[in-house]
Amino acid sequence: MPTPQPHPPPASATPPRASAAMAISPCLQPPGAVVEEEVEESHEPAAGGVRERVTMASQLSDHQDEGVHARTMSTHARTISSVSGVGSELNDESGKPIWKNRVESWKEKKKEKKASAKKAAAKAQAPPVEEQIMDEKDLTDAYEPLSRIIPISKNKLTPYRAVIIMRLVVLGLFFHYRITNPVYSAFGLWMTSVICEIWFGFSWILDQFPKWCPINRETYVDRLIARYGDGEDSGLAPVDFFVSTVDPLKEPPLITANTVLSILAVDYPVEKISCYVSDDGSAMLTFESLAETAEFARRWVPFCKKYSIEPRAPEFYFSQKIDYLKDKIHPSFVKERRAMKRDYEEYKVRINALVAKAQKTPEEGWIMQDGTPWPGNNPRDHPGMIQVFLGETGARDFDGNELPRLVYVSREKRPGYQHHKKAGAMNALVRVSAVLTNAPYILNLDCDHYVNNSKAVREAMCFMMDPSVGRDVCYVQFPQRFDGIDRSDRYANRNVVFFDVNMKGLDGLQGPVYVGTGCCFYRQALYGYGPPSLPALPKSSVCSWCCCCCPKKKAEKSEKEMHRDSRREDLESAIFNLREIDNYDEYERSMLISQMSFEKSFGLSSVFIESTLMENGGVPESANPSTLIKEAIHVISCGYEEKTEWGKEIGWIYGSVTEDILTGFKMHCRGWRSIYCMPIRPAFKGSAPINLSDRLHQVLRWALGSVEIFLSRHCPLWYGYGGGRLKWLQRLSYINTIVYPFTSLPLIAYCCLPAICLLTGKFIIPTLSNAATIWFLGLFISIIVTSVLELRWSGIGIEDWWRNEQFWVIGGVSAHLFAVFQGILKMIAGLDTNFTVTAKATDDTEFGELYVFKWTTVLIPPTSILVLNLVGVVAGFSDALNSGYESWGPLFGKVFFAMWVIMHLYPFLKGLMGRQNRTPTIVVLWSVLLASVFSLLWVKIDPFIGSSETTTTNSCANFDC
């Protein structure tokens, strides 16, 4: 094995072909004890109120000669660019904080930008002769909007809204009838049904009214190019991609590698793209596979761009069953495609060899090629690791062109620290990227979501870079689309109703919710800043405390008041609107910035703090490029976030496993709005868990996150009212997002009612009068018409709508129920319950995983309900046969509701049986036992009948076999 090199080879050097061995060189991060000491010292206040800490540069310089702390990760002598970093000294020689000096330079730059903007405006008014002779169409395109709103036709939307109002009126009349006409012979059953129906009505209002103003959007990528140009001199904004992964054995490295390759090959200026891969499991397998991916990208990226390949993830491109020669008339295409496919197959063999070797970890842990242990052998106790694989100083592609930057990041982890799972990893990426590249926009993807449309970034920039649209836009959300799902989509994995109906409705309000992946963020919004339209603070509030003649105590009190006002406690924003500082003179501005205590909000990193003030991104000029990696290592230390606003008001918000919903909610509360972008060719595609058990556990995790938010201080029922920046219909949608798991309780009761009525001979509805019949028919007709009109304006199919309705019941009586109890136990009692999954069958055929059955506790409630209703139907018909002709009329009403339950649970029943009808005995035994005990109790005890009626109605409460 080649020995590690302290410096990367020149960019022109061609690295040899890498082997599949697991040996890796040491990482840039020194031993963990040094990091912990630095973190502890960095938080100790010094005398005089000025912080002092031992910098990483001083720590590292003492050992530089020994070669312990300056070693560089390199694999198989690849051409890998590496930069080192410096600590964040807080004071200069005069004792003045350095970052304040940088703020002063930042203010001067702001003035220069304003002056240059005025010159540019004057120049635009009198263009030179060369510009005057530009094509008229190009000029028109350059100054036209980059996107437009396509409202839903009034012929479709007006009847839809009218039916919603009509249904609301009918619903009120229906509830009036139900409440004023109790069924005394089955009072308990009637009361239960009415409570459930009222909750369903409330849930329908929360779900329906946020769809009041749905819209469609259209982008014009050609106008974006005409306005900002393309190529090396393009004015397009840089974008940092975030890819997160944890366990390479559960999240296959080949899938993650395809995601990375699709990002590196995206149709966007190369120098404006950076890809950060977060390895939160500190796995050497992930690092090695990423090194192999960086090597393969040198061949794959130029091939994609030369022939405009779609999609640019090789696994999915080569698996397409289409005519790949269509529209590819270049004579060398066939030859190069075959060669590229062979290269990819060899690349897959190397990745699979790494995976096979990683199946069994050596007792002594993984060893790097220089003989030292891999720093991440203990995923819960390891130093921070960063490696820059590709970039400006790294290896170029085989055509000699520059490649986008590719960075491996594994944040530091130590026992005793709360790391906050994915949200903490994303916040670490925010800080690392701010130090190394600081692109003004961030696009995050899950490791299994690849770029399906190479122009997806340009689609997002049509909104973000359009001054008439993007001023108050915090993020652009793309819909999730999936591969590997059968046409019938039995378990509603595509979530078509949510992505094509609900999200379009929210786009007409304040914007779609953030769904965790496929989202392009404005970096300043992640920092907790308010949008430009946020009202500025009154200037008098600054003047009241910045006067030099004020006593110190009064000044401190005024500072606290200013700090309180600027933070806007009603919205609990991170700091303040960045543009507010333009309203003050130089002295007031410097005092305001000083009082805002950036260090208390963002942490002790002067480089990072300065980057937060750069609205248009870019690495601070005052930062030393040769010392940036050490600063990046510092900002991912496990103690960096202590006593800061990270996870509270800045970055991804902590407190829920669905940090995406919480993060988007906080941004909307601050007054930001979001955009929903649906390109004709899906921007991103991912992998969905298509077997029943995995799908239910996915839904369980989402529902658990909603319950956690409901029980937290960020609950939309009471959070964020003071500022009045969250629209009411938008608030209804967020309330619906966090209360929907609780619908499982009335849903389970309502699904059991038909079986109970069949077993006891009772019914929840009295004999219908003419008026009652009208209300019942009106309710059913309004439900049907609402659905039909919704399908009409949204464009989705009836099969997708029906699958969504079915899985609403399936998930409601299983995963949502467990999420409610698990969330309550976790938030109140501190107990974290896990429902494990064990595989029971496998199938290698296409869509074979759809029929794989895995035992899990979540399956018991819906199975019990199915058995109970089937027993109830049999018992009902048996009782009708023995009771005579007059009992058949009420029987059909009861059987109708029982069949409604069975039809909605039918996909669950098919999934339960599996392809070979091999349902685990444990599921059958548990479900039959619960259903039998429940049925016998109801038949024998009949708790909803008073004691005075027991003797007279006892014969009606039983059924003959």
Q: In three state form, how does the secondary structure of 878-947 look?
A: HHHHHHCHHHHHHHHHHHHHHHHHHHHCHHHHHHHHCCCCCCCHHHHHHHHHHHHHHHHHHHHHCCCCCH
Report the relative pairing of strands 441-446 and 239-245 from DSSP bridges.
Answer: parallel
pLDDT band for position 42 (50/70/90)? very low
Write the burial class of residue 110 (CB in 10 Å: 0-12 exposed, 13-18 middle, 19+ buried). middle
Cα 531–Cα 639–Cα 474 angle in degrees, nearest 5: 15
Concerning whether 92 is annotated as a catalytic residue, the answer is no
Residue type at 329?
Answer: I
Q: Taking the CA atoms of the chain, what radius of gyration do you get in angstroms? A: 31
Q: What is the mean pLDDT of the chain?
A: 74
The response to whether 244 counts as a known ligand-binding position is yes
Report the relative pairing of strands 481-483 and 385-390 from DSSP bridges.
Answer: unpaired
Best-predicted range by mean pLDDT (673-677, 691-695, 918-922): 673-677
The response to whether 422 counts as a known ligand-binding position is yes
206, 211, 212, 218 alpha-carbon torsion, rounded to 10°: 160
Task: Give the per-residue pLDDT at 539.
Answer: 42
**Domain residues of the chain, as ranges?**
221-531+646-689
Distances 408 to 20, 234, 286, 628, 901 between C-alpha atoms, Å: 19, 27, 9, 15, 50
Residue 857 CB neighbour total at 10 angstroms: 15
Cα 757–Cα 760–Cα 766 angle in degrees, nearest 5: 50
Report helix, strand or coil for 859: helix
The packing angle between helices 659-669 and 692-710, to 10°, is 40
Rounded to an integer, what distance in angstroms lies between the CA atom of residue 352 and that of residue 375? 23
Concerning whether 370 is annotated as a catalytic residue, the answer is no
With 80 as the cut, is the pLDDT of residue 240 above it? Answer: yes
Q: For 485-617, where are the alpha helices, taking DSSP H only? A: 496-497, 503-507, 523-526, 540-546, 552-567, 586-595, 598-602, 606-612
Q: What does residue 198 show for φ and ψ, rounded to 5 degrees?
A: -65, -40
The catalytic residue among 240, 267, 279, 280 is 280
Token pair 């990091």: residue: 35
Q: Tell me the β-bridge partners of 650.
A: 646
559-589: per-residue pLDDT in tens?
A: 444 433 433 433 334 444 455 555 555 555 5
The response to whether 328 counts as a known ligand-binding position is no
Report helix, strand or coil for 358: helix
pLDDT band for position 681 (50/70/90)? very high
* Structure tokens given for 364: 């002594």
pLDDT band for position 369 (50/70/90)? confident
User: Which residue, among 570, 464, 467, has the nearest Cα to 525 in the 3D structure?
Assistant: 464
Rounded to an integer, what distance in angstroms lies between the CA atom of residue 422 and that of residue 429? 11
The response to whether 446 counts as a known ligand-binding position is yes
pTM, full prediction: 0.76
* Structure tokens given for 119: 């010159």
User: Which residue, among 858, 815, 841, has the nearest Cα to 915 in the 3D structure?
Assistant: 841
Rounded to an integer, what distance in angstroms lies between the CA atom of residue 310 and that of residue 184? 66
Which is more confidently placed, 739 or 95?
A: 739
The response to whether 251 counts as a known ligand-binding position is yes
With 80 as the cut, is the pLDDT of residue 691 above it? Answer: no
The response to whether 421 counts as a known ligand-binding position is yes
The catalytic residue among 267, 489, 660, 879 is 660
With 80 as the cut, is the pLDDT of residue 157 above it? Answer: yes
Spatial CB neighbours of 562, under 8 Å, sequence gap ≥ 6: 541, 542, 545, 592, 595
Task: Give the per-residue pLDDT at 562.
Answer: 41
Spatial CB neighbours of 938, under 8 Å, sequence gap ≥ 6: 756, 759, 760
The response to whether 280 counts as a known ligand-binding position is yes
Spatial CB neighbours of 407, under 8 Å, sequence gap ≥ 6: 274, 275, 276, 277, 386, 387, 388, 389, 391, 432, 433, 436
Lowest mean pLDDT among 290-304, 622-636, 781-795: 622-636
- CATH superfamily of the 221-531+646-689 domain: Spore Coat Polysaccharide Biosynthesis Protein SpsA; Chain A (3.90.550.10)
With 80 as the cut, is the pLDDT of residue 595 above it? Answer: no
With 70 as the cut, is the pLDDT of residue 501 above it? Answer: yes
DSSP state of 222: H
* Structure tokens given for 241: 């991609």
| C-beta separation of 699 from 811 below 8 A | yes
User: Which residue, among 30, 36, 123, 137, has the nearest Cα to 629 in the 3D structure?
Assistant: 30
Rounded to an integer, what distance in angstroms lies between the CA atom of residue 604 and that of residue 647? 16
